Structure 1
Amino acid sequence: MKLEWIEDILAVLDTGSFHAAAERRFLTPSAFTRRIRTMEETLGCALFDRARKPVTLLPHVQKLEVDLRDAARRFRELRLKLADNAARNETQLTLGCQHALTTTVSPRLLRHLGQTRRAEMRIRSGTRSECHQMLLRQEVDFGLIYETPEDALQFDERLFDKITFGNDLLIPVANLRAAPGLRAALDAGELPLISYPANIHLGEVMRVHILPGLMRGLRTRIVAETGLTPAVLQFLRQGLGIGWLPKSMAQEALALGELEDLTGELPSTPLTIRIIRARTDGTETTRAAWADVMALVGASG
C-alpha cells in the first residue's frame, strides 16, 4: 500500500468528490481517476461506489477511516525521519494545526512565513490536545489552535508563549434547501445534530457554550458524530443534519448557497485563533519566524 494511495482515499473522504479530491492532490480529474483505477486493480477490489453521484467510498472502506488516517500519519513520520538530517532541521519549521484550522487559517500563516523566511514548512494536523502534546514533546515548533476563555489556562503561560492570530465564530449551519425536512424538524422542536465527540475541543465548546443556549424544549437527536470538521462540513452539505462549524470553514459553502447560517435561530460562540510555542531556546529559524508573526499581527492590528 502506497502513502499516495492512502492520501488519495482520504482526499475523496474529506472533499466528497473525485473532482475536489483531484484539486487537493494537484492532479487533473482524469489523472486522478486513472490513479484510483490503478489502485483498485492492484488491490483487487473496488473502493468506491460509482453508482452514486458524487462518487463515495464503499462502506467497508469508510469503516477503515481511522486506520487509514493513522497509517498515513505513520508513513509521513517514517518518511520524515528517514529524510531528516541536522542541517535541514536548522532551516525547517513545523506547525501543529488543529484540524479545523489546517485548511482555513494555516495557508495565510504559511504564505507569510514563506515570503519572509527561506524555511522548509511542515504541517502536522491533529486535535487541540494532540497539538498540545506535540508542543510539549517538541515535535512541532508552533501550534495553531482555537481557544475560548475557559480553556485558555490549559496552556500554562510559564511554559508557552501565545500570539492572537485572529478571531472566528462557531456557527450553526444546515443545507435547508436540499433537505427541507430539517426545517420541519426544527419547527417540530427537534434538532437533528451532526455532533463532535465530547473528548475533543469543539465537542467541549458545544457542551459548554452551545447546548445550554438551545431553546427550551428543543430535543436533540444525534444523526452522526465525528471529530473531523471536514467530515462535518460534507455531512452538512449533503443535508444529513444541522451542525456547528467555524465560520472560516463554512464561508465558501455559505457563499455558494450550499449551507445556510442559522445564527438567528440557534446559538453561536466566538473562538480566538492562537499561535503558540513552547518556551525553549529553539533554532535561529524558529526565533526569527516568531518575530515575523509578531510583526505581522502588529501590522494588521
Structure 2
Amino acid sequence: MRIDWIDDIIALLDTGSVVEAAAMRNVSQSAFSRRIQTLEILLDVTLIDRRSKPNRPATALRNHEEQLRQAARQQRSLIKKIQTESQSGSRLVVVACQHAITASLGPQIVKLISGLGKAHVRLRSANLDECEALLLTGQADFSITYSLDSDNSDHRAAMTMEAFIANERLIPVYGTQTVKEMLWRFHTGSLDVIAYPADVFLGIVVERQIFPRLERQCRLNIVAETALTLAAMQMASAGVGVAWVPEALAQADLRDERLSDLSGQLGGLEMQIVARKRAEDAPDLHARIWNALSRAGAVVP
C-alpha cells in the first residue's frame, strides 16, 4: 500500500471526520472524499461510515487502527533506511543483542562492524528469545547472546551457525560503602537480593543455579525485581540488595570501588558470549563481519 494512502487513513483516524482529515492533508474536502472512495474501490473495503452525520471512520477501520499505525511507521522506517543507504552508499547491518551485552559491548560491536566497510549498524536490544526470533525471521543479520556450557538445547543448529566470542562471568555485586554490614547479615543467616523475572535468561540462570546453593546457607529476601541488569547494578550500588550482573558491565564501578565483587563469598557463574547467524549464504560484507566476530576477543576490550 502506498504511504500516502496510509497517511490519508491515519488522518481520518486522528481527526474522526472527513472535513478535518482533508484540512490536515491540505486538500479540499471533495478531493479527499474522492481519494477515500478510490481507496475503498481498490481495497474492496468500507473506510467511512456514511450513515453517521458527519461521516466518521468505519468501525472495522477503528478495530485495526494500531496495525495501520504500525504499518505507517514501518513504511517510513523502510523509506528512511533506503534513503540513508542510497545517499551514503552504506549497507544496514542489524545485530540483535541481549540487553546487558548492548550496554557493555555495544560500542565495540559497532566499531568492529563499521570498520569493515560502509555499514550502518543497528543494535536491537532484546531478551534472549526475542534475539533468536529476530535472527530466525530475518529481521536481524546476527545475534550476540549469552550461553552456558550446560546449555545443550539448541534445536536451531541446522538453521544457524555459532561462533564463540568471549567468556563472561556472572558475579554478585554490592555497594562498597556498606558491604561489611551486608556480609555481617549474610553470615548471621539473611541476604537481601535483587532478582530478575523468571521468564528472562538471567532470571532462569540465577533461580536455577545460584539461589538454590545460597538457600542452603541463609534466608534469601528478594527485595526488588527488574529485567534490566543496569537497574539491578544501580540498586546494588545503592545498598538495596546483592545483584548478579555480567562482570564486563560492572568493570568501571568495580575499578572505581563503587561496587564490590562478592564472588568469593557468594559465588558466581561462568558464561560465554556467542554470535549466531543464519546458515544460508551471506553477502560479502556479512561474511567479513562473521569472520571478524569469530575471532575470539574481537569485541572484548
Pairwise same-fold verdict (TM > 0.5) = yes
Question: Structure 1 counterpart of 2:296, which letter?
Answer: V
Check conservation: 1:213, 1:267, Cα contact below 8 A.
no
> 1:216: how far off?
2.1
Check conservation: 1:233, 1:245, Cα contact below 8 A.
yes
After TM superposition, list the pairs within 5 Å mapping 1:36-185 onto structure 2: 80-85=77-82, 88=85, 91-154=91-154, 156-178=156-178, 181-185=181-185
Check conservation: 1:170, 1:244, Cα contact below 8 A.
yes
Check conservation: 2:179, 2:260, Cα contact below 8 A.
no
- SS of the residue corresponding to residue 139 of structure 1 reads coil
Sequence identity (%) = 29
> 1:87: how far off?
8.6
Aligned to 1:222: 222
1:208–1:253 distance in 2 versus 1, CA, 3 Å: same
Q: How many residues align?
A: 228
Aligned to 1:6: none
- Deviations 1:100-126 (Å, cap 9, x if unpaired)? 100212322221222222211111101
Aligned to 1:196: 196
Unaligned stretches of 5+ residues in structure 2:
1-69
Aligned to 2:49: none
Distance 2:103 2:217 in 1: 36
Aligned to 1:254: 254
Structure ID, larger Rg = 2
Distance 1:74 1:174 in 2: 45
> 1:95: how far off?
0.5
Check conservation: 2:169, 2:268, Cα contact below 8 A.
yes
Unaligned stretches of 5+ residues in structure 1:
1-72
Aligned to 1:288: 288
- Deviations 1:4-45 (Å, cap 9, x if unpaired)? xxxxxxxxxxxxxxxxxxxxxxxxxxxxxxxxxxxxxxxxxx
1:155–1:124 distance in 2 versus 1, CA, 3 Å: farther
Check conservation: 1:127, 1:200, Cα contact below 8 A.
yes
Aligned to 2:46: none
1:197–1:77 distance in 2 versus 1, CA, 3 Å: farther
Aligned to 1:208: 208
- The worse-fitting range, judged by mean Cα deviation, of 96-105 and 179-188 is 179-188
> 1:215: how far off?
6.0
Pair 1:297 & 2:296 matched = yes
Aligned to 2:234: 234
Question: Structure 2 counterpart of 1:231, which letter?
Answer: A
> 1:287: how far off?
2.3
Question: Structure 2 counterpart of 1:262, which letter?
Answer: L
Aligned to 1:276: 276
- SS of the residue corresponding to residue 257 of structure 2 reads coil
Give the structure-2-normalised TM-score. Answer: 0.68
- SS of the residue corresponding to residue 274 of structure 2 reads strand
- Deviations 1:55-107 (Å, cap 9, x if unpaired)? xxxxxxxxxxxxxxxxxx99986763341339939811111010010021232
Distance 2:114 2:197 in 1: 35
